[in-house]
Amino acid sequence: MPVYEYRCSECGEQFELFLRSVAQKAAPACPKCGSAEVEKAISLFGVGGASRSSKASAATCAPAST
């Protein structure tokens, strides 16, 4: 199940939401203030994980020097 991070435009609350399907289109409401003015936030876990794995694959795919 994908986990999405959101940030409320009204109160600044950051929260995560587990979705059963990526096809679910309904925007969540902020759990703190109830506002529907939320936007997807960038997940630091996802960014950090992608960065580390790309460095690891680049290191293993480099041709051996002679």
- In tens digits, the chain (66 residues) has pLDDT values of 578 899 999 999 999 988 776 666 677 899 999 999 999 887 665 555 544 444 444 455 555 555
In whole numbers, what is the pLDDT of the chain averaged over residues? 73
Q: What is the pLDDT of residues 38-52, one digit of tens each?
A: 998 876 655 555 444
- pLDDT attached to residue 51: 46
Write b or e for each residue in 8-26: b if 16 or more Cβ atoms lie within 10 A of its Cβ, otherwise e: beeeeeeeeeeeeeeeeee
- pLDDT attached to residue 66: 57
